[in-house]
Structure 1
């Protein structure tokens, strides 16, 4: 007895065996219908297709007519029906013999298994529609009812070319996060970021190097998406909204100590490497006490103290630093009583030896030196908006965080504070109603973070990716390559960013490590290798299943990039390059890079001039 194995592996296990088992019964039914049809046609031919037989179309009768005629005229024409039955039986017997031969040959033939070494393949239209990146075509019933499916909404993750050469945009509107690998000057801005910002109607936070995205998208977002557009450029002497991190401290609540401790940790750990030394830990504890002291001392006044004011407390030339410790220890806080943490911080500094206290103090001053810049001091002296406005304001809010390349490194600590507070304050609570999570926000928030590993390791961002979607926050993270993401100054080899991103997109990489990662994501496939052997007058032909990557590392490195031309001293993209889109649970998509300036709608939106002044909410 031959044992039948189910060789369908992985996702192919569903439905494959069922399809093959239906073939023989279907052919058997066809053979029986063929026998009936032969008997019917022979009987009709005997009577020269007489009109009295009825039920015919031309000279063709339905196969079952022989049975109807047998009931009506069986007693009158027994010989004719016997001859017709013999013809039908012979045709049926011949068909069954052929079917038996096919079944026997099929059982003896060893068929190649297309899934033996892997079942990876490139996605087709149905796969893309199932992944939610393209709308399914409307059925006739939906069209008749006037319920045709609308064009997809959401962020742009790429484009796809069908067999007719037509380009289809790939968009994702779900709550899941997106990670993009895009080397410098690969076209990620014109292909993904700008189209998304020229179509996303809700709130967004954008890291904007050099202010290009503000110039191209802020005009449309303000005039047609009805967003309040905010340009936060800390190193600009004019045109920037103000934002004071200390105004986000929830003073007088159960959160005040946690808020201040998180802020102090970010100040003394500007690269996200953790509090590694005794001096950093001591400086963090000192900052917590001094910030709380300054906030309570200025309680009820406006504006609240800023980080520049905190630095001034440590570097006040008018008094000795020990006077600050005495003030913190003796002045009443918090409804007339000494705040325990403030008093303990002052006592701790007074008990330290002079040399150790001086070292702790100098450590704190070194981390606060950024805020001595008069331009930065002006821009963080008060707040024109609050973080909760991003999702709770009456209108959607677009916050552009603009930094010049020359200021990027020194402004990193301040930008880390802003992004950290956005995550912590907007994802702090969740409400439920009737057994389901209830939206407690007015607007969804898209965090479009370009080259986010360059900001250092934001532990809160990595940890919160697993649950941010439940709070209405969608992250669109962009890095140069896998090395930048997993570097020592980034998120390390054990990063969890990739595992928490539902979609990963990639432009042609420059690094082998990135190409290896992309090749593994596409998976392994099985191909059939045919070999012909010549031996004298005879030749033999053999086939063999072998394994290969759907996209090898070499092929990945040689993916066609955008075609550029130099105009006015700058390289301009003239023709789009290829890209790959990976959606968890679906075949990889070999796509095409979209270009906003080749779309007349996007081009018209980008031409809307950006506002000369940033909006203010407070």
Structure 2
């Protein structure tokens, strides 16, 4: 039984069916034109066309010539015209009859259907060029007059080897986001992160464990990409720029309450699990009131508003805590009047039973213990830059957020605050002109977030991925495996929206079967021809009496989970350094998957030279913008 391509799903099946239909249609048109041509040539032969009438018979006349001749001479030679028309009808009729037979043979003949069970395949050069990861080959004149695309707006998503063994870098310069699955020590840094940071010339925010990316890329970004390079290492005794989260609060037009509420929520929810109990909720409300009080007091009294100062006034051993509540309830914050939120917070604490008030205060102070570290307190008590500078400063700005492995966990709340503020403050408004969005920023921003799940669940980030591209922000997220994103305890749960909002997903050989299954599903199903041979005859005979061969279409994944787990990884020397690139897969929404290779920056002389540029001795500082 034959299954028609028209009943098979998928674009490849539809293209095959459309190809057969086009062939039949072209045959019909060809024979109809052939009939007109036959009528024209037959008339010329019978008429014995003379040179003085325009041409010789050995010429091939245009098919529509007989129409012109009939308009001129039909009334003189009706018999010749009738015979010519009959000849044309005969030729067209025989041809259309042949076309009908061909159509019947196509519809009724048994043939392999290459896309019956799936049409997945590996991408070729044309697919990669259509996905805008590889430039198209243009002629000399097209190259001469083509509009040049800025070469400093690319991120590297992999490499691809053509049939001749030549390796081509795969670069993307669109606004869409990128998600990378790369286990530890798989080469994501030397293959993707470092090449991107050594070519992207716009602003960037880089999460940098151990400071390796700073030492390799900051020199080129400062000296040749024209970036202000800022190293924010809050637990470092020297060399770190300072950033005070309270300087980001907008103390005008009523924004201060919302900004402080968002800040306090992040402080009491360091893992992103939500405010699930009474003590978290009451601690958040208390911190909102105290922080607002400190902010207004700093304006009128000249004190320093910072999170260490908030902890200091809540833990002052020489002052009864009741005095603070009375000060908050009576202080003239706005035009000589008490701020309603601050006053309400103070009255709530005064009205609580002593034991409950003590528990609320104790819980709130527990979320401020990080800021008792004198190194952290020094680095967050003033600001050498503001979040707004990342996209609005005169020069592009590269912010390296450095957290040493020993401090990564305890510094997570501070890093989460910074990441949250980056999204909220840089994607706050969008202006339109003639129905089109207008860029209100000076520089695009790349969020190069290595070990992204280690920040915990950032709900604002998951929600904002759908729209921050319109604000000039491009995210490049790196995780170890899909389980980190889907974790219910530390990730975004089974219904996470991170992967669905990333136009490009690339992957190194995975370590976990769950990630391999995810990649296999992304690659798709294909149809293969299974040959089955059946033999019969005597067991001791020299030859089989009968051999039957059966061809059958069956389904299989283009890349099975087992094949995904056994992808060729990078080769390493005895010291663990990568010496030879491994395989990787690149998925672009709407296009076939690309079976690629890992790019290695140290094997490229351009990247190697850029990485060798000396690292800056000091972090840049930006004068506080008014």
Mapping for residues 42-61 of structure 1, pairs under 5 Å:
none
Q: Is the 8 A contact 1:8 1:16 kept in 2?
A: no
Query: In the aligned structure 1, how far is the partner of 2:185 from the partner of 2:265?
Result: 35
Mapping for residues 239-318 of structure 1, pairs under 5 Å:
239-299=239-299, 304-318=304-318
Query: Aligned pairs, how many?
Result: 606
Q: Is the 8 A contact 1:7 1:113 kept in 2?
A: no
Counterpart of 1:593 (choices 563, 580, 598) is 598
Query: In the aligned structure 2, how far is the partner of 1:122 from the partner of 1:30?
Result: 36
The change in CA–CA distance for 1:447 and 1:303 in structure 2 (over 3 A counts) is farther
**Partner of residue 518, structure 2:** 517
TM-score by length of 2: 0.87
**Partner of residue 125, structure 2:** 125
Query: In the aligned structure 1, how far is the partner of 2:491 from the partner of 2:23?
Result: 56
The change in CA–CA distance for 1:512 and 1:302 in structure 2 (over 3 A counts) is farther
- Report which stretch shifted further, 250-259 or 472-481: 250-259
The change in CA–CA distance for 1:273 and 1:25 in structure 2 (over 3 A counts) is closer
3-state SS of 2:347 partner: helix
Determine whether 1:615 maps to 2:620. Answer: yes
The change in CA–CA distance for 1:581 and 1:146 in structure 2 (over 3 A counts) is closer
**C-alpha displacement of 1:6:** 1.7
**C-alpha displacement of 1:330:** 1.2
Mapping for residues 511-550 of structure 1, pairs under 5 Å:
511-535=512-536, 537-550=545-558
The change in CA–CA distance for 1:483 and 1:4 in structure 2 (over 3 A counts) is closer
The change in CA–CA distance for 1:422 and 1:303 in structure 2 (over 3 A counts) is farther
Q: Is the 8 A contact 1:157 1:192 kept in 2?
A: yes
Query: In the aligned structure 1, how far is the partner of 2:290 from the partner of 2:133?
Result: 51
**C-alpha displacement of 1:304:** 3.7
3-state SS of 1:440 partner: coil
Query: In the aligned structure 2, how far is the partner of 1:254 from the partner of 1:176?
Result: 34
3-state SS of 1:443 partner: coil
The change in CA–CA distance for 1:311 and 1:531 in structure 2 (over 3 A counts) is same
The change in CA–CA distance for 1:25 and 1:586 in structure 2 (over 3 A counts) is closer
3-state SS of 1:165 partner: coil
Residues 432-473 of structure 1 deviation map (CA, whole Å, 9 limit, x = unaligned) = 111111111111100000111111111111111111111111
Query: In the aligned structure 1, how far is the partner of 2:152 from the partner of 2:230?
Result: 28
**Partner of residue 498, structure 1:** 499
**Partner of residue 588, structure 2:** 583
Q: Is the 8 A contact 1:232 1:401 kept in 2?
A: yes
The change in CA–CA distance for 1:127 and 1:332 in structure 2 (over 3 A counts) is same
The change in CA–CA distance for 1:149 and 1:445 in structure 2 (over 3 A counts) is closer
**C-alpha displacement of 1:28:** 7.2
Counterpart of 1:556 (choices 554, 564, 567) is 564
3-state SS of 2:243 partner: coil
**C-alpha displacement of 1:535:** 4.4
Query: In the aligned structure 2, how far is the partner of 1:172 from the partner of 1:303?
Result: 48
Query: In the aligned structure 1, how far is the partner of 2:4 from the partner of 2:516?
Result: 40
Q: Is the 8 A contact 1:453 1:491 kept in 2?
A: no
Query: In the aligned structure 2, how far is the partner of 1:461 from the partner of 1:376?
Result: 25
**C-alpha displacement of 1:128:** 0.9
Determine whether 1:179 maps to 2:187. Answer: no
Q: Is the 8 A contact 2:153 2:202 kept in 1?
A: no
Q: Which runs of 5+ in 1 are unaligned?
A: 39-54, 65-87
Q: Is the 8 A contact 1:219 1:611 kept in 2?
A: yes
The change in CA–CA distance for 1:103 and 1:392 in structure 2 (over 3 A counts) is closer
The change in CA–CA distance for 1:303 and 1:165 in structure 2 (over 3 A counts) is farther
**Partner of residue 52, structure 1:** none
**C-alpha displacement of 1:541:** 2.5
Mapping for residues 17-416 of structure 1, pairs under 5 Å:
17-24=17-24, 26=26, 105-139=105-139, 142-143=142-143, 145=145, 153-299=153-299, 304-416=304-416
Give the aligned CA root-mean-square deviation in angstroms.
4.0
Q: Is the 8 A contact 1:529 1:546 kept in 2?
A: yes
3-state SS of 1:272 partner: coil
The change in CA–CA distance for 1:358 and 1:99 in structure 2 (over 3 A counts) is closer
**Partner of residue 458, structure 2:** 458
3-state SS of 1:334 partner: coil
Query: In the aligned structure 2, how far is the partner of 1:321 from the partner of 1:494?
Result: 45
**Partner of residue 417, structure 1:** 417
Query: In the aligned structure 2, how far is the partner of 1:398 from the partner of 1:421?
Result: 16
**Partner of residue 431, structure 1:** 431
Residues 564-584 of structure 1 deviation map (CA, whole Å, 9 limit, x = unaligned) = 112xxx311111011111111
**C-alpha displacement of 1:490:** 1.5
Q: Is the 8 A contact 1:450 1:477 kept in 2?
A: yes
The change in CA–CA distance for 1:25 and 1:374 in structure 2 (over 3 A counts) is closer
TM-score by length of 1: 0.88
Query: In the aligned structure 2, how far is the partner of 1:574 from the partner of 1:214?
Result: 23
Q: Is the 8 A contact 1:135 1:149 kept in 2?
A: no
The change in CA–CA distance for 1:35 and 1:593 in structure 2 (over 3 A counts) is same
Query: In the aligned structure 2, how far is the partner of 1:441 from the partner of 1:579?
Result: 35
**C-alpha displacement of 1:407:** 0.5
Q: Which runs of 5+ in 2 are unaligned?
A: 39-54, 65-87, 538-544
Query: In the aligned structure 1, how far is the partner of 2:196 from the partner of 2:144?
Result: 33
**C-alpha displacement of 1:12:** 3.3
Query: In the aligned structure 2, how far is the partner of 1:354 from the partner of 1:518?
Result: 57
**C-alpha displacement of 1:106:** 3.5
**C-alpha displacement of 1:116:** 1.5
Query: In the aligned structure 2, how far is the partner of 1:348 from the partner of 1:145?
Result: 70
**Partner of residue 42, structure 2:** none
**C-alpha displacement of 1:300:** 5.4
**C-alpha displacement of 1:107:** 4.0
The change in CA–CA distance for 1:551 and 1:373 in structure 2 (over 3 A counts) is same
**Partner of residue 610, structure 2:** 605
- Report which stretch shifted further, 374-383 or 116-125: 116-125
**C-alpha displacement of 1:317:** 1.5
**Partner of residue 508, structure 2:** 507
Query: In the aligned structure 2, how far is the partner of 1:222 from the partner of 1:151?
Result: 17
**C-alpha displacement of 1:495:** 1.1
The change in CA–CA distance for 1:347 and 1:528 in structure 2 (over 3 A counts) is same
**C-alpha displacement of 1:24:** 4.2
Query: In the aligned structure 2, how far is the partner of 1:208 from the partner of 1:516?
Result: 30
**C-alpha displacement of 1:19:** 2.5
3-state SS of 1:571 partner: coil
The change in CA–CA distance for 1:192 and 1:143 in structure 2 (over 3 A counts) is closer
Query: In the aligned structure 1, how far is the partner of 2:31 from the partner of 2:408?
Result: 78
**Partner of residue 572, structure 1:** 577
- Report which stretch shifted further, 95-104 or 537-546: 95-104
